[in-house]
Amino acid sequence: MQVETPAATKFFADRLAEAVERKRSQLVVGLDPRLDLLPVELRGDAHVARSAAADAVARFCCGIIDAVAPHTVAVKPQLAFFEALGADGLRAFEETCEYAHAAGLLVLADAKRGDIGSTARAYAAAYLEGEKPVADAITVNPYLGRDSLEPFFGACRRQGGGVFCLVKTSNEGGGDVQDVRLSDGGVLWQHVARLVAEWGEDLVGEHGLSSVGAVVGATHPRAVGEARRLLPRSILLLPGVARAFTSGPASALVAASRSVIYGFRQSGEDWRTGASGQAARLKSEIWAASGW
């Protein structure tokens, strides 16, 4: 009797790098489905029942996926908007992820999770493990330190998952904690960047990139350059274009959410046409700006 050996697990960073090069795109479309912003034709009874709202959200996300799939390497569903609809919302999240996978896209679950011990293991299991993981990568929070993220790194090693760790965020209050001055003269987020680089060292794939990436607010162009220097192997997930591609074409991803998925609200076009057009335009702009 022969024992079937599973194909060697490919690192997330390599899967992503191959997708970026094949599609010539570093665009990630963020799926932030807010009921009040959905196309009117989809809303139906969404204001009455949660299940109808969740159906509308799933239809919207799947329609957007169809529209942007040729132009994007990944979608980034934001868990909060699905959780706001409870269990029905989580079902819409699962449908959305499955649909994105069927469309050949990677799925980055924007969850910003972080907890300890068996709780962290449960989060890793929820998103990155099992026979068919819901997502390919997940965003996480570094405040609880290395052992809180170890279960995610384990999923990266064993199942080819990826992690994007919050390092420097673009919101107004981001500095409250991230910009605190340290005794070494630097600031906290630089310390966190060094930790993330260290945590990702043994997850560097064939393309020279690690499956442990970093979320960096590109509204701070100097911070992006500094993060690139501190995190030479990490894939940076940025909310806008910046000089972050010096470690290769797949060394940064640019996430765009509202400008793509709610583009129709400005242009008056059909929502799918609007999303597709915006994604195509952004993809080209980013590729050109990346210098590859």
Interface residues with its own copies (CB under 8 A)? 32, 34, 78, 80-81, 83-84, 86-91, 93-94, 110, 112-120, 122-123, 125-126, 134, 141-148, 150, 166, 169-178, 180-185, 188, 191-192, 195
CB of 22 to its own copies, least distance (A): 30
Q: Which is nearer to its own copies, 106 or 166 (CB)?
A: 166
* Sign of the torsion formed by the C-alpha atoms of 211, 217, 223 and 225: positive
Q: Which is nearer to its own copies, 66 or 115 (CB)?
A: 115
Catalytic residues: 112
- The residue whose two tokens read 């600031």 is 187
End-to-end C-alpha distance for the chain, whole angstroms: 49
- The residue whose two tokens read 């011990």 is 117
Those residues whose C-beta lies under 8 Å from the C-beta of residue 139, and which sit 6 or more positions away, are: 108, 109, 110, 111, 112, 113, 163, 164, 165, 166, 215, 237
Q: How far apart are CA 212 and CA 204, in angstroms?
A: 8
> What does the chain come to in residues?
292
CB of 175 to its own copies, least distance (A): 7
Q: Which is nearer to its own copies, 188 or 289 (CB)?
A: 188
Q: Name the token pair of 276.
A: 């597709």
Q: Name the token pair of 174.
A: 């981001």
Taking residue 288's Cβ as centre, other Cβ atoms within 10 Å add up to 10
Q: Which of 208, 125, 124, 214 is nearest to 168 (CA)?
A: 214
Taking residue 10's Cβ as centre, other Cβ atoms within 10 Å add up to 12
Q: Would you give the distance in Å from CA 196 to the centre of its chain?
A: 16
Write the CA distances from 207 to 68, 92, 176, 211, 226, integer angstroms. Answer: 26, 34, 36, 11, 22
CB of 258 to its own copies, least distance (A): 9
CB of 181 to its own copies, least distance (A): 4
CB of 287 to its own copies, least distance (A): 27
Q: Which of 247, 164, 237, 233 is nearest to 204 (CA)?
A: 233
CB of 213 to its own copies, least distance (A): 16
- The residue whose two tokens read 């699962």 is 94
